[in-house]
Amino acid sequence: MDCRGVNRVLCVVVTVFVCSSVVEALENGLARTPPMGWLSWERFRCNTDCKNDPDNCISDRLFRTMTDLVVSEGYAAVGYEYINIDDCWLEKERSYSGQLVPDKLRFPYGLHDLSDYVHAKGLKFGIYEDYGNYTCAGYPGILGYLKTDAETFATWNVDYVKLDGCYSHPREMDRGYPEFGFHLNQTGRPMVYSCSWPVYQIYSGMSPNYSSIVEHCNLWRNFDDIQDSWASLESIIDYYGNNQDIIVPNAGPGHWNDPDMLIIGNFGLSYEQSKTQMALWAILAAPLLMSVDLRSIRPEYKAILQNKKIIAVDQDPLGYQGRRIYKHNGIEIWARPITPVYQNFFSYAVAFVNRRTDGTPSDVAVTLKELGLFNPGGYNVEDLYEDVNYGVLTPLTKIKVKVNPSGVVILRADVQPGRPFAADQQTRYDPYQVFQYRPAGI
């Protein structure tokens, strides 16, 4: 690898990573690719002051406005389809008969009417609750009302349920989250089920039962809530890289790890950092849930969120989650196996990330073979941000990229047909490979 213009020889040791177990996915037929949409929490939080801030409070008006913009500004056309309410939509008390009640002033027409509005625009409607006595913001939780609340969501034509975990005991979650999922499925209404189950258990020192989580949830949170900062984003990137041996095998069609919302277009990320989040979320096969004010987002950030080629990586039908395959001196390489597949060989998306803070773009040079791309027929390589196609490159071709500080270069390498394989080369190798780079002189 060539970093900062200094030639360095890379020695690569490739070992095949084999999943130690296979677990059954939640068979509700949903979320075959990571969900995409818009979510209120990171940008609008729990702003309930509609008297003094009517444009930004959690209200019927806000969600209808964002619904309109998702359609009119082209987000729906590239795959964003869910409009998801988060916390703070409720009255502080249930109805006399035990039903959840939307805040009567902020949601005067009720949530069935709002759901109908979202559906009329060709989108889907999501809601938030909590497996606890209260939600994180202190509104009624679902404990004691699991069946009632699942049926309520179904009558409101909800398509997506996020279930948080405040004010509950983590040990009860192994029973409670599957139980609520059962009630959701019993309604007959298809509803994507987003769980916060593992993150609360991790916080409490428990080791989550991922076999059960994968069986009962469509997606789940593993780590901290994202905040509007590069430091927060870096902590999530590090967590997913440092714990990938545990995390990666659980992802696949219908069941996804969720590193939390896209904060692109808000206040805390630069343009380069925003490109990094979008690229790595695609490598991670992450849900793409924007949390941004679509009324005021700048065009360059909108373009990142609507990058069709990177969205295609995120939505790749194989459903493999990518891995960090190299980390040294502030440079990281992440790779994800994707379609198309030719005989024994997968295509790959590869992201080069510059975590340095010295202010100078870094040159990174590596052969395709050093990235684990061995197909003798080569790969058609394309830069997904710069929209540059480098043509078909062989495994011995050295590619050189210039990566800006806190920025990313993401390439797509589509496998090309090559010469026929010998009889002893017919077994397909596992697409996950761990690379141990030993740059000379370091």
Backbone angles phi, psi at 21, to 5 degrees: -155, 155
CA–CA dist 233, 270 (Å, integer): 12
CA–CA distance, 292 with 121 (Å, rounded to integer): 20
Q: How far, in Å, CA of 156 to CA of 427, rounded?
A: 50
Greatest Cα pair distance, the chain, in angstroms, is: 74
Please pick, among 68, 113, 225, 238, the residue that the annotation labels catalytic: 225
Give kind and range of the element (H or E) at residue 305: helix 299-305
Catalytic residue among 164, 258, 260, 316: 164
Instruction: Give yes or no: 293 in active site.
Output: no
> Residue 130 is which amino acid?
D
Beta bridge partners of 347: 338
Asked if 365 and 398 count as a contact pair (C-beta separation under 8 A), the reply is yes
Is 225 annotated in the active site? yes
Alpha-carbon distance of 331 to 348, in angstroms, equals 19
In angstroms, the CA 384 to CA 296 distance is: 25
Distance CA 12, CA 87 (A): 48
CA distances from 256 to 33, 199, 201, 202, 345 (A): 9, 14, 18, 17, 24
Annotate 230-288 with DSSP letters as a single string: HHHHHHHHHHHHHTHHHHGGG-BTTBEEE---B-TTSSS--HHHHHHHHHHHHHTT--E
Instruction: Locate 196 and state its tokens.
Output: 């916060």
Contacts of 434 (CB under 8 A, 6+ apart): 14, 15, 17, 323, 325
Whether omega before 405 lies within 30 degrees of 0, making that bond cis, reads: no
Active site positions, annotated: 164, 225
